[in-house]
Structure 1
Amino acid sequence: MRADAKKNYSHILAVAREVVSQHGADASMRDIARRADVGLATLLRHFPTREALFEALLCTNLDALTQKADELKTSDSPDEALISWFQEWLAFAQSYRGVVAMMAAAHTNPDSALYASCAAVHSASARLLLRAQAEGAARPDMNGDDLFALMTALGWAVDQPSFAPRADHLFHIITGAILTNRRAKM
């Protein structure tokens, strides 16, 4: 990539991050281009779809989540590792309003620019769940798809202004349903 194109790319991402943090996943591509002081064609050359833009915006966060899962897999007790990772994921989901719906849609669509990142998050959560199940700390009747569905459901719920204040409470309810020994601790 040429130096000026790389500079435009970085500048567009910085502006997009700002606009998305203000307006969520429904932020206008035209607004992003206008605020970045580039033409819409330039924006679309770098990011041909909204999903491609979000993949670029989120890949650092999603890579960090996947790395965190790998660290937790060996460092904590299986139930605490799953809880810690779930908390990290929820914090990420709350930082980008509307992104959870995009991830849920991309989860089963290999043509989506977000598919690979969603698959990595799904796989990371499934590995942590399997470890907790092997230790008897998580329900045996769940699989990675179930966990991903619960994560996205919670992410969607706390994305709604009426449920956002109850995020911690809803988190504890869901983790209490996943972990076999969590009910006794609550």
Structure 2
Amino acid sequence: MAMSTTPARPMRADARRNRDRLVSEARASFAAHGTDASLEDIARRAGVGIGTLYRHFPNRHALMNAVFQDALTDLLDRSRVLAHAEQPCAALVEWLGAIVAHAGEYRGLAQALMSASADETSALTSCHVPLRQAGERLLSRARTSGSVRADVSIDDLLRLTNAIALATEQAPADPALAGRLLRLALHGLKADPADPRPSSPLGG
């Protein structure tokens, strides 16, 4: 039987307005209360019923995915700029720092991204996959330059950045903590006193 080639029907104007209001209210609620904010409250503030929210976003991760599309675009754009940086390893570290900063803006986002990385059915996978691809390109360039060990994987680095963002959620009074932890993790714990040169950020 031939498959239908009928294009998907465009969203009605009122449905589009409802969706946009839901995303806007979700962004504000996630920023104020974390990504576990009440979906019922988000729907109420958007002026719709919870059923309307679920018609647009079947689960919390689907709503989170819509909320974070702008931030994802910014991170991907930054990765493309950094792909031409003179120092590939420094470019990779800068990009990882940007991910930590983004994940730290919303309580619970780091944990959700960690869960999505292990669950291909999660709606957040559409955020994780392009981030992984962008990071792999930066990491590959740093490996080629000889500044990063060959056994470093982008999956491990993304887990590390999410873990750092998750850890800093517990210390909101110390805004510099995320940067310190990232530098510590990437430089390693043990310095070589016989070598006066600073170690490569990724231990290479």
The verdict on a shared fold, with TM-score over 0.5 as the criterion, is yes
Normalising by structure 1, we get a TM-score of: 0.90
Q: CA deviation at 1:180?
A: 4.8
CA spacing shift, 1:164–1:47, aligned 2, 3 Å: farther
Q: Map 1:53-132 onto structure 2 (within 5 A).
A: 53-132=63-142
Aligned to 1:181: 200
Contact 1:122 1:144 in 2 (8 A): yes
Contact 2:101 2:165 in 1 (8 A): no
Q: CA deviation at 1:161?
A: 2.5
Aligned to 2:25: 15
Aligned to 1:139: 149
Code of the aligned partner of 1:144? I
Structure 2 spans left out of the alignment, 5+ residues: 1-10, 189-197
The CA RMSD measured in Å over matched residues stands at 2.2
Identity of matched residues, %: 36
Q: Which has the larger radius of gyration?
A: 2
Q: CA–CA distance in 2 between the matches of 1:86 and 1:183?
A: 12
Aligned to 1:49: 59
Q: CA deviation at 1:33?
A: 0.9
Q: CA deviation at 1:164?
A: 4.7
Alpha-carbon deviations, 1:50-83, whole Å to 9, x = none?
0000010012211221221122111341012112
Contact 1:25 1:98 in 2 (8 A): yes
Structure 1 spans left out of the alignment, 5+ residues: none
From 171, 183, 190, give the equivalent of 1:172: 183
Alpha-carbon deviations, 1:88-113, whole Å to 9, x = none?
11111111111111111111222111
Normalising by structure 2, we get a TM-score of: 0.83
Q: CA–CA distance in 1 between the matches of 2:93 and 2:163?
A: 16
The structure with more helix, counted as a fraction of residues: 1
Contact 2:88 2:141 in 1 (8 A): yes
Q: CA deviation at 1:47?
A: 0.8
Q: CA–CA distance in 2 between the matches of 1:54 and 1:137?
A: 35
Contact 2:97 2:179 in 1 (8 A): no
Q: CA deviation at 1:162?
A: 6.5
Q: CA–CA distance in 2 between the matches of 1:180 and 1:129?
A: 17
Q: CA deviation at 1:126?
A: 2.0
